[in-house]
Amino acid sequence: GNSVTQMEGPVTLSEEAFLTINCTYTATGYPSLFWYVQYPGEGLQLLLKATKADDKGSNKGFEATYRKETTSFHLEKGSVQVSDSAVYFCALSETGYSTLTFGKGTMLLVSP
């Protein structure tokens, strides 16, 4: 079956630090990959996505590249802000089927 593994948190950084949150996946087919973000007290919202190998998803300064050879989709940001403090979820869906399989989430805490 499908599964997503992401690094455990919390990840604690100072403002303007570089962020990496690791995500690896197992899938029987050729999935689409997503990063969702959950700000405190809110529902999840899509941050970025990639649908095929070597695609790079990007949004709000965050980036992730679909690496089929390493089955990874690591999230990066060059300079985090306090407002980036949230829980980040990596997820996948099989092409043509929109049910999502989520990782357990990684909490990011950014201090001034």
Partner 1 sequence: DADVTQTPRNRITKTGKRIMLECSQTKGHDRMYWYRQDPGLGLRLIYYSFDVKDINKGEISDGYSVSRQAQAKFSLSLESAIPNQTALYFCATSDGQVFTDTQYFGPGTRLTVL
Does residue 58 contact residue 77 with C-beta atoms inside 8 Å?
A: no
> Can you give the binding site for partner 1, defined by CB under 8 A?
32, 34, 36, 42-46, 49, 51, 89, 93, 95-96, 98-100, 102-105
Which tokens is 19 given?
């962020």
Q: Quote the least distance from Cβ 97 to partner 1, whole Å.
A: 9
Identify which of residues 17 and 100 has a Cβ nearer to partner 1 in the complex. Answer: 100
Q: Quote the least distance from Cβ 112 to partner 1, whole Å.
A: 26
Identify which of residues 13 and 47 has a Cβ nearer to partner 1 in the complex. Answer: 47
Distance of CA 24 to the CA centre of its chain: 10
- Cross-strand partners of 35: 48, 90
Per-residue three-class SS string for 90-110: EEEEECCCCCCEECCCEEEEE
Identify which of residues 21 and 103 has a Cβ nearer to partner 1 in the complex. Answer: 103
Q: Quote the least distance from Cβ 86 to partner 1, whole Å.
A: 13
Residue type at 67? Answer: R
Which tokens is 17 given?
């630090």
Q: Quote the least distance from Cβ 2 to partner 1, whole Å.
A: 11
